[in-house]
A = this chain, B = another copy of it.
Amino acid sequence: MNVHSDNGAKKSMAKLEKRDEIVRAALELIAEHGFHGAPMAMIAEKAGVGAGTIYRYFENKDVLINELYRDLEERLCAVLMEGYSPEQPVRERFIHLGTAILRYCISSPLDFRFLEQFHNSPYGVVHRRDKLFGKTDQKDVYRELFEEGLVQQVVKQLPMVVLFALAFGPLITVARDHILGFVVLDEALIGQTIAACWDGLKR
């Protein structure tokens, strides 16, 4: 270790730093160009590592993508739960979640684009099926929220899947449109959009 070691240089990276660089590079490339537009060699180059290095951290491309997804899902989940209070009324909770989602997609557009790509791929379908049919035991705030809403009769008596669609279909769509520059979401618009979703949902 040199006392003068400039810590700005591309020189050595710590172990975790390297994994992070790979993940970040994969995220950017996949978010921007899709799974096919992100060859391992390109990810490696963007991450500033050798092509073989990726395989020290991830068994193969599928694993890399799935771990990246899990990372993002976790991050998103943390964001959603921040300030979430199960004591609040269903409506307030829904607005909290919706707002958090839209803000997240605005502040982390790459994350959001990646999540979309993932959901619209075979990976995502499998993942969704497992989730719906309870192959994961991860507790699910949305489900809980809507189930409570059904019991309290504040949301429409519709299948869970349809409630999801009514609640998040529009959010995902405007989020994408925002990222692609088709609309600019500001706080006011976020609020109005979510309120409109609630109108669709509520009894």
Interface residues of A (CB under 8 A from B): 33-37, 116-117, 120-122, 125, 128-129, 132, 156, 158-159, 161-162, 164-166, 168-174, 177, 180, 182-183, 189, 192-193, 196-197, 199-202
Residues from chain B with a CB closer than 8 A to the CB of A132 are: 182
How far apart sit A122 and B199, CA to CA, in the bound complex (Å)?
32
A116 CB to nearest chain B CB (Å) = 7
User: Are the CB atoms of A189 and B159 closer together than 8 Å?
Assistant: yes
- Could you write out 5 A-B pairs with CB less than 8 Å apart? A116-B120, A159-B189, A162-B174, A166-B200, A200-B200
Query: Is chain A's interface secondary structure helix, strand, loop, or mixed overall?
Result: helix
Residues from chain B with a CB closer than 8 A to the CB of A183 are: 159, 161-162
Q: Kindly name the residue among A122, A132, A169, A171 whose own CB sees the greatest number of chain B CB atoms within 10 A.
A: A169
